[in-house]
Amino acid sequence: MKILYIFSIIFVLACTSCNSWLEVTPQDTVDEDQLFATGDGYRNVLNGIYKQMATSSMYGQELSWGMLDVMGQLYQTRGFHSSSAYYKLATGYNYEDQYVKPIIQTIWSQAYNSIANCNSILSKIDATDSSLFRSRNHEKMLIKGEALALRAFLHFDMLRLFAPAPVANDSKAYIPYFTIYPSTFEPDRSIKEVLERVIKDLEEAKNLVAPHDTLDWRMMLTDGHRIDYGRGAKEANQDLFFKYRGFHLNYLAICAQLARVYNYMGELDATYYQKSYDMAEHVITFELDPGGYYPNLVFTSYYYTDENKKRYEEVLFCLSNQKLMEDYASLTTGTSSTVFYLQNSLFDDNGDIRLTNMVKTSGNYQVCTKNIAPDGEIGDYQNCQDMLPMIRLSELYYIQAEHLCRQGDIAGAVQKIDVVRRARNCQTGSYGEMSKRIKDLDTFKKEIIKEALRDFMQEGQAFFYYKRLGVSPKDGVQAANLVFPKPDNETIH
Confidence of residue 488 (pLDDT cuts 50, 70, 90): confident
Percent of residues, the chain, with pLDDT higher than 70: 92
Q: Do residues 3 and 185 lie in contact, with contact meaning Cβ atoms separated by under 8 Å? A: yes
State phi, psi for 157 to the nearest 5 degrees.
Answer: -70, -30
Residue 342 domain flag? no
Whether pLDDT at 179 is above 60: yes
Q: What is the DSSP string of 394-448?
A: HHHHHHHHHHHHHTT-HHHHHHHHHHHHHHTT---GGGSHHHHH--SHHHHHHHH
Q: What is the pLDDT of residue 272?
A: 98
Confidence of residue 405 (pLDDT cuts 50, 70, 90): very high
Residue 445 domain flag? yes
pLDDT tens track for 226-237: 987 655 567 788
Closest CA to 310 of 390, 415, 211: 390
Confidence of residue 491 (pLDDT cuts 50, 70, 90): low
Residue 485 domain flag? no
pLDDT tens track for 250-260: 999 999 999 99
Q: What is the SS3 assignment for 120?
A: helix
Q: How many domains does the chain have?
A: 1
Whether pLDDT at 383 is above 80: yes
pTM of the full predicted structure? 0.94
Whether pLDDT at 306 is above 90: no
- Residues 440-454 have a mean pLDDT of 97
Provide the CATH number for the domain around residue 191.
1.25.40.390
Which domain covers residue 24, as residue numbers? 4-325+384-473
- Residues 268-286 have a mean pLDDT of 98
Distance CA 90, CA 86 (A): 6
Confidence of residue 294 (pLDDT cuts 50, 70, 90): confident
Distance CA 89, CA 74 (A): 12
Residue 482 domain flag? no
Q: What is the pLDDT of residue 32?
A: 83
Indicate the average pLDDT of the chain.
91
Residues sharing a CB contact under 8 Å with residue 8, sequence separation 6 or more, in sequence order: 113, 493
Selected residue with higher pLDDT from 407 and 362: 407
Query: What is the largest distance, in Å, between two alpha-carbon atoms of the chain?
Result: 64
State phi, psi for 188 to the nearest 5 degrees.
Answer: -65, 150
Closest CA to 22 of 390, 388, 461, 458: 388
Residue 20 domain flag? yes
Whether pLDDT at 422 is above 60: yes
- Residues 163-185 have a mean pLDDT of 93
Q: What is the pLDDT of residue 231?
A: 58
Distance CA 305, CA 451 (A): 18
Residue 363 domain flag? no
Q: What is the pLDDT of residue 291?
A: 81
Q: What is the pLDDT of residue 303?
A: 87
Residue 167 domain flag? yes
Least confident window among 36-40, 91-95, 305-309, 414-418: 305-309
Whether pLDDT at 15 is above 60: no
Residue 183 domain flag? yes
